[in-house]
Amino acid sequence: MNENALDLGLELDWFARVLESRIKSCFDEDCVTLPRIPPPDLGESDSCYARFIRHYDLQPGERLVLLLALIPHVRPQLLDALWRTNAETGRGFTQFGGLRGTAHGGLIPTGETAAFILAGDDLAARFQVTQMFEGDHIFALHAILQLSPATAGEPLLSGALTLSREYISWLTTATVRKPNFNSEFPARLITTGLEWEELVLPRTTLEQLEEIGHWILYGDRLMRDWGMEGRLQPGCTCLFHGPPGTGKTLSAGLLGKQCGCDVYRIDLSMIVSKYIGETEKNLARIFDMAEHKRWILFFDEADALFGKRTRVDDAHDRYANQEISFLLQRIEEFNGVAILASNMKANIDEAFNRRLQAVIHFPMPGPDERLRIWKGAFPQKAILEERIDLGQIAEKHELAGGTIMNVVRHASLKALSRNSETILLEDMEEGIRREFRKAGRTV
Ligand SMILES: Nc1ncnc2c1ncn2[C@@H]1O[C@H](COP(=O)(O)OP(=O)(O)OP(=O)(O)O)[C@@H](O)[C@H]1O
Ligand SMILES: [Mg+2]
């Protein structure tokens, strides 16, 4: 964090000198050419800021715009020089741009401010600045910085320069901000206390999960160092399918834990909207936020969203299809990891299946696997009554891991309520019966 402060300090001093000379060139008739003021050499600095500049190979002009957007957050007084009043008009100088905030005392820079600092009256240079706010510039592509929409009928550059909150944290405190759960980002962080070794799955399933891990760890190098950008799809989308309680959510959590990235479970009920076009917008927002974040997006009960495309019978269906087409396309462009979880593979749209990098089946565990799950399932403090034969229970009852955990929970709470540490066979049997009843089956 200190390294970052040091580098940012140098950059801000550089910015201040550029600003000063630009203002001077504006008012001082003798000063017609702007001296070239070279940016500080951040050389091999390992600060987040320096790495960011190197990673995107940002040019001095882009660096100045980035700094300009950052200044209200870190050194707002630096822009006070732009508050001057034009004696002829009695207002601020038009060419300085900038907005007055409500609670913020300083100037809020706009696209016009950026154009002034970088281009002055030079039209060709001004057009170059405008390009920085186009959709194909890295600022927009990576959701780093944008101009807020201008008021209707007003020039584009009158929009405020806004840096995404994630990048403000990243470029200043060097921390990756965890987004709050809200309607803008209806997702929750999934974590797990379990370890990879405790996950009981067939070898093929584990191998497929490992491959996703490899993508998370080495995908970036494959794309950049090995030059596969543009030849491979940028991200990784997979489907986890299988009966309830077979470890889909757990596996997503473990993947994140192993690769050091956050896993967000998207709350679909907050996304799927009955209003035409809204679902699309909600999803787009999430994908935009997740881009370039090393996040895993986990869409639970994905069939609600990704189910079969409906036949085009009425107007509403036609919109539903549009939403799905949009989604297919957005997923293809997404450069992170998206996991769709479903209980029924058949429900996922064909066109969707083709776009998936991995389709991973989570089968019901067999007797041996069930025994391993049972063995790892009880609290350390618990003592199993001697009559309990886990091998026999595992053999007899076809239960998924999630259900086994429910039984363990039931029997453990019973023990605690008796003020005992001993798990009783009858409590386990009762727990198992309850689970079967829940599922509409008999033991
Ligand atoms: N294969 C497994 N190995 C070890 N533990 C498991 C396994 N599957 C499930 N469990 C246990 O059951 C709990 C619930 O499983 P999980 O939530 O991952 O199931 P799921 O497949 O996501 O189910 P659903 O389809 O209902 O969302 C896990 O937290 C874990 O304790
Ligand atoms: Mg789940």
Residues 6+ apart with CB under 8 A from 442: 436
Q: What is the pLDDT of residue 346?
A: 67
CB 135, CB 141: distance < 8 Å: yes
Rounded CA-CA distance 65/167 in Å is 14
Atom of ligand 1 at shortest range from CA of 200: 3
Q: Cα(first)–Cα(last) distance of the chain, in Å?
A: 59
What letter would DSSP give residue 296?
A: E
| Cα angle, residue 177 at apex, residues 176 and 182 outer, rounded to 5° | 145
| Helix residue spans in 157-247 (DSSP H) | 165-172, 203-223
Backbone angles phi, psi at 212, to 5 degrees: -65, -40
What is the CATH number assigned to the segment(s) 187-361?
3.40.50.300
> For domain 367-438, is the CATH number 1.10.8.60?
yes
Neighbour count for residue 10 (Cβ, 10 Å): 16
Q: What is the pLDDT of residue 439?
A: 82
Distance of CA 84 to the CA centre of its chain: 41
- Give the pLDDT band (50/70/90) at residue 230: confident
Residue nearest to ligand 1 atom 13, measured at CA: 402
CATH 3.40.50.300 in the chain, residue ranges: 187-361
Which has the minimum average pLDDT: 20-34, 254-268, 336-350?
20-34
CATH 1.10.8.60 in the chain, residue ranges: 367-438
- Give the pLDDT band (50/70/90) at residue 313: low
Q: Which residues hold their Cβ within 5 A of ligand 2, which is an ion?
A: 248-249
**What residues flank ligand 1, with Cβ below 6 Å?**
198-201, 244-250, 343, 362, 373, 401-402, 405
Atom of ligand 1 at shortest range from CA of 251: 18
Rounded CA-CA distance 157/150 in Å is 7
Residue nearest to ligand 1 atom 16, measured at CA: 247
Structure tokens at 209: 């999960």
Q: How many CA atoms lie within 13 A of 154 on its CB side?
A: 14
pTM score: 0.69
- The answer to whether residue 285 scores a pLDDT higher than 90 is no
Q: What is the pLDDT of residue 347?
A: 65
Measured in angstroms, how far is the CA atom of residue 250 from the centroid of ligand 1?
Answer: 5
Q: What is the pLDDT of residue 251?
A: 97
Measured in angstroms, how far is the CA atom of residue 184 from the centroid of ligand 2?
Answer: 23
